[in-house]
Structure 1
């Protein structure tokens, strides 16, 4: 990131304008429990971050073809639903995080199920879920061949105070 700070013109705009705007939008989306707004800001912010990496000199490319296929899959899922039901984001790496609401699990998980069956971490029984989303053959191939592990998790309950610590 030091190289990005030093060389990316986009990074300066991101710090001054984009991140503060996205923070306000994200706070509003969460306060309103507006998943579609949350999803849009999440995806735009991820795109903005990776654009600054590409604008770095020399450029930094964290995402790979499988990452971009995951984006296309989320776009196909949302198109099939006719609304935003899934969102993607990426950390400083190629690993996709896909957010969705439980009520839309069949569409989202059902799209990935035929591609990820047998992959470490994928839920057994997900194959039974069906989706109306149709993925491009190239996208499906990249996902099937490029994903080696899945971490499926959900939002838990309220915070719990703990006296356990490492120190």
Structure 2
């Protein structure tokens, strides 16, 4: 007779939105990709944008970014992707104060890609919403005059975008 030993090995499966790879070939990786709702999402495929979005931001004071974002149709959420800082210090973002009225917002941070600010809530068409978050380094430090906005569905998956949210360079 032979003894049989059974082993259970832990398996870590990385999703498309957390593997550090541009899985859909659009030049955007993981959370910077509009197809990623969060790091657990396993589909980077970009949605078709079926509406128009617009926005603007200002580097208010210190590390704070004030933004306005709106869409020409109702939406249940939005996502703002913040580009990385130039140089050796990565840019990080954090919540600053209260969420925009009627929204619940979260910050998604990562070591490999751009951080993002996502909000869920109902927004009527052609009704902009204002909000703010902090960046480190400060907004004046090479944000390239544009953040990127996406419309998102109730599960946080982008349903349209990207579109530029213009501000100071």
Higher share of residues assigned helix: 1
TM score, norm. by length of structure 1: 0.26
The higher-RCO structure (CA 8 Å, 6+ apart) is 2
Higher share of residues assigned strand: 2
